[in-house]
A and B are shown apart, each in its own frame.
Chain A
């Protein structure tokens, strides 16, 4: 199993550009999450999904959008990139159990210049 796969690994954007961070998992997990991690800080939840067609906001959703059309994929969209969105983005998933461990991808390092 590949687990949680994130693409791209690195990206540099100009202010105002848009892009989609891709996340896919092959473990048939219903729950998926997007986090961001600023330098020297812990992770903060952006959006999460408890199943295909269902998404909800986390702690820091402003400036981002998500969709969940399939169980496997949970893309994160930045519409108008801003320097404050420079961060490392992690996608995670876990099975239906409420307290089951989350599996994380390797992250996407994004710089907005």
Chain B
């Protein structure tokens, strides 16, 4: 399975945008890029996913590089509730495929 590389931690100020990077240089053509986040003492929560084009939803935006070897999760206005561990995961488009969680990026939001 293709792996991802994320910074261990990042800090942001409340109400400012946050850009969380992810490198996935060995991504295959059928791998989707998924982002999940895990708030303290909770199970992971789906954030967004994409294949080639940039994606937007009510939680975040996903910017995917043209060569697909990197992507960036964008939180447009960070709130204290966005403090969590964010996981970037490559997921093959096949039946029963699992999520392979790495270490993720711990986002700290300062008031």
Q: Chain A residues in contact with chain B, CB under 8 A?
A: 4, 31, 33, 35, 41-45, 48, 50, 56, 58-59, 90, 92, 98-99, 101-107
Contact = CB atoms under 8 A, between A and B. Distances in A.
B95 A101 contact: no
Nearest to B97: A98
Given A48-B96, A48-B98, 5 more contacts: A45-B100, A50-B96, A99-B93, A101-B34, A104-B43
Contacts of A43: 44, 99, 101
A92 B99 CA distance: 10
Contacts of B44: 43, 90, 92, 102, 104
Interface of B: 32, 34, 36, 41-46, 49, 87, 91-104
Contacts, number: 58
A101 B49 contact: yes
A58 B98 contact: yes
Given A41-B103, A99-B32, A99-B91, A107 B43 contact: yes
Nearest to A41: B103
